[in-house]
Amino acid sequence: MQVKTFEALNIKDAVKAVKREFGQNAIILSTREKSINGEVNGHEQGRMVEVTAAVPESHSPDKEIPFSTPMFPQTKHGADIRGTDIAGKLDHLDLQMSSLFDRMPAKTNVQHLETGLQEVKLLLLEALRTKEGSTIKNLPAHLVNLDRSLRSMGIEDIHIAKLVQHLLTLSSVKQPESGQLSLEEFYRAQAIRWMLKKIKVAPQWTVMDGHMSIQAFVGSTGVGKTTTISKLAAHYFVKKKKKVALVSLDPYRLGASEKLRIYAKIIGVPFIAINQPEELQKKVLEHKDIELVLIDTSGYSSKNTSLSGQLEALRKLELPIDIHLVLSVTDKEEQMDRTVRCFSQTGIQSLVFTKMDDSWSFGSVFNISQRWSLPLSFFSTGQEVPDDIERATRERVVERIFGL
């Protein structure tokens, strides 16, 4: 059996090298990460992947090895691992996986179910409106449609109740002038004004010559942190002509920094990979001319708080770091709420909402920001870099909620 070790910057490239050398019959024996120093292909590196693979001597790389051929190493007790045994185990595993997939609900079925539930919700609201005028007792008729539209957009009952209470106080103070607005239009305009006052927007970043602004982004896996950071890097580097650096702080996932590394190369900005927050200060000092540092952190699960120590260490560094929580509008509000609670101890400065183009309900943006009294900073509205990113504004939130 031929055994050889392959090295690459990521697992994908390492596997390609194995296939080029040994063909499809290669057997991966082990994989591990290793620290390296210096530069590789002109880029500063922190970690590499080492893959150990093998192929039987009597078979060329291009020749297929049937499972029934006993070309597998012996166990430590000296017994051969026969190909038929392996094939049998694989067949059994295949049956188990097939059974699991059969029981697993398809994504399209879940989407259809959610759509159906939303339709039932709207029908229930309509029935309540027809029967009693609204889900709020004794609600005037000219506020019924407003109440219904806000509920369909996911605005919480407590906020609707506060809004209605505010609008009812206006009935004896202000009235629409004759020939201008209907009573319903008047109260809708007043509701928009009330909501505009409630929404908080974070101040713009101070990015100046001779000063370094450090912005870290945290959040659950899959919400779009890396893409959002790339958009912001391109925006500030290309459009605002600022000196930007991208930092990846994710020692837990193999090849996690590759996407950000590629974006940095495309945009033309420095890329820094670190494994521990303590490394950030040293690395940042090596780039004294940088004006804006954007940090991509590990994706966390709200069920797993064991990794929160990394963010706590990041916050305690003697650096002016602002932390922003990235949330996806497509997630359920309960999940967003758990995520905010999980990160609340890290000193969140603002909320960033992604996938605004994939959702029809934006009440959760208002609800979450109000519940946690956190300002909004950015909205990601698509996959295009750097175009599909915008500063959060009160007007945008109200526009989405009221369908303006």
Mutual angle of helices 394-402 and 363-371, in 10-degree steps? 130
Q: Is 64:24 a contact under the CB 8 Å cutoff?
A: yes
Q: Which residue would you say has higher pLDDT here, 17 or 105?
A: 17
Nearest CA-CA partner of 216 in 178, 181, 177, 246: 246
Q: Which pLDDT does position 271 carry in this prediction? A: 93
| CA triple 139-145-146, angle to 5 deg | 80
Q: With bands split at pLDDT 50, 70 and 90, how would you rate the model's confidence at 119?
A: low
Query: Using CA atoms, how far apart are residues 230 and 235, in angstroms rounded to an integer?
Result: 9
Nearest CA-CA partner of 217 in 287, 293, 276: 293
Query: Using CA atoms, how far apart are residues 151 and 191, in angstroms rounded to an integer?
Result: 14
Q: Which pLDDT does position 76 carry in this prediction? A: 44
Most confident of 58-67, 77-86, 103-112, 133-142: 133-142
Asked whether residue 94 carries a pLDDT value surpassing 70, the answer given is no
Average pLDDT on 27-47 reads 64
Q: With bands split at pLDDT 50, 70 and 90, how would you rate the model's confidence at 365?
A: very high
Asked whether residue 124 carries a pLDDT value surpassing 50, the answer given is yes
Asked whether residue 202 carries a pLDDT value surpassing 70, the answer given is yes
Q: Which pLDDT does position 73 carry in this prediction? A: 45
Tell me which of 166-180, 191-205, 227-241 is least confident.
166-180
Asked whether residue 110 carries a pLDDT value surpassing 70, the answer given is no
Write down the residue that tokens 């017994």 correspond to. Answer: 79
Nearest CA-CA partner of 233 in 259, 272, 264: 264
Residue 249: burial class (beta carbons within 10 Å; 0-12, 13-18, 19+): buried
Q: CB count, 10 Å around CB of 2?
A: 13
Superfamily of domain 213-402: P-loop containing nucleotide triphosphate hydrolases (3.40.50.300)
Q: Which pLDDT does position 79 carry in this prediction? A: 45
Q: Within the chain, which residue ranges are assigned CATH 3.40.50.300?
A: 213-402
Q: What integer best gives the mean pLDDT of the chain?
A: 78
Q: With bands split at pLDDT 50, 70 and 90, how would you rate the model's confidence at 141?
A: confident
Query: Using CA atoms, how far apart are residues 325 and 327, in angstroms rounded to an integer?
Result: 7
DSSP letter for each residue of 323-358: EEEEEETTS-HHHHHHHHHHHGGG-EEEEEEE-GGG
Query: Using CA atoms, how far apart are residues 404 and 402, in angstroms rounded to an integer?
Result: 6
95: alpha, beta or left, given left = phi > 0 and alpha = psi -120 to 50?
A: alpha
Tell me which of 21-25, 41-45, 301-305 is least confident.
41-45
Nearest CA-CA partner of 142 in 187, 179, 190: 187
Q: With bands split at pLDDT 50, 70 and 90, how would you rate the model's confidence at 269?
A: very high
